[in-house]
Amino acid sequence: MLIVGVSGSPRNQATEHILTQTLDILKVRGLETMLWTVRAKSMKYCVNCNYCLTRKTCVFQDDLKDLYDSFAVAKGLIFATPVYNGGVSAQLKTVMDRTRSLVAGDKNFFKGKIGMGITVGGDRAGGQELAQWQIHTFYLINGMIPVGGGPFGANLGANLWSKDSLEGVKLDEEGLRGLKKTTKRFVEYIDLYAKRDVYE
Ligand SMILES: Cc1cc2nc3c(=O)[nH]c(=O)nc-3n(C[C@H](O)[C@H](O)[C@H](O)COP(=O)(O)O)c2cc1C
């Protein structure tokens, strides 16, 4: 039961730290995990060449290939992003856009996988919810089951405030509480839905 976490930060700082912590919790809950980071990776933007629509593979063969192979077998995905200008990082957006080649090959590629989002902003209200919504929109478009944090505490999911530092995010008690609640629900959803093979 593989869960793939993607860090959309080009640094090993707040976002990667929080994602690592989340995957560690999932490991304790008996899930197999994999962390993939955009950091130091080579990946081109989608250029809408439509090569994938006929060839069922991307015209670019770069570092996204390995990630997408793991997406194929994953039961759950966790996209984690720093908030850049009120949205996801360009790097995470590239990971999303280039999946067009996967969906061109199989429109149900992502269907039924469980999805959770983690956002980390330098400001307290810096656009975390907008970035979270961008992640959930990707999940919805692709037929995934998006997981929020639930009412009374986490709502849309894990949204953290770093004050622009690794130390800052470790002190964000409210954000960490939301992360805990969202992770708990993610595990519940994996137990509820991902163990069934209902999407054929
Ligand atoms: C290009 C850029 C744009 C940013 N825009 C925002 C923003 O809109 N809102 C916000 O809260 N923080 C913004 N930040 C701050 C980062 O979200 C914050 O420093 C975060 O902790 C970075 O994550 P990392 O430590 O994992 O790299 C921005 C940072 C960069 C580099």
- pLDDT 10s digits, 4-48: 999 999 999 999 999 999 999 999 999 999 999 999 999 999 999
Among protein residues, the one with the nearest Cα to ligand 1's atom 8 is: 85
**What pLDDT sits at residue 112?**
95
CA 74 to chain centre: 12
Determine the 3-state secondary structure of 143 from DSSP: coil
- pLDDT 10s digits, 119-157: 999 999 999 999 999 999 999 999 999 999 999 889 999
The answer to the question of residue 36 being in a domain is: yes
- pLDDT 10s digits, 84-99: 999 999 999 999 999 9
The answer to the question of residue 200 being in a domain is: no
Residue with tokens 């979270």: 132
Give the Å distances, CA to CA, from 60 to 68, 89, 128: 13, 21, 31
**What pLDDT sits at residue 84?**
98
Distance 170 CA to ligand 1 centre (A): 16
> Angle at which helices 14-28 and 173-189 pack, to 10 degrees?
40
The answer to the question of residue 95 being in a domain is: yes
- pLDDT 10s digits, 47-79: 999 999 999 999 999 999 999 999 999 999 999
Determine the 3-state secondary structure of 113 from DSSP: coil
**What pLDDT sits at residue 121?**
98
Which CATH number goes with the domain that contains 179?
3.40.50.360
The answer to the question of residue 199 being in a domain is: no
| Ligand 1 touching residue 8 (CB < 6 A) | no
Structural domain for 22, as ranges: 2-194
CA distance 35 to 164: 22
**What pLDDT sits at residue 200?**
43
Task: For residues 101-117, give the mean pLDDT.
Answer: 97
The answer to the question of residue 74 being in a domain is: yes
| Ligand 1 touching residue 189 (CB < 6 A) | no
CA distance 42 to 67: 12
| Ligand 1 touching residue 131 (CB < 6 A) | no
Task: For residues 157-173, give the mean pLDDT.
Answer: 98
Q: Supply the mean pLDDT for the chain.
A: 96
pTM of the model: 0.97
The answer to the question of residue 66 being in a domain is: yes
Report the number of distinct structural domains present in the chain. Answer: 1
Comparing CA positions, the residue from 27, 13, 24, 38 lying closest to residue 170 is: 13
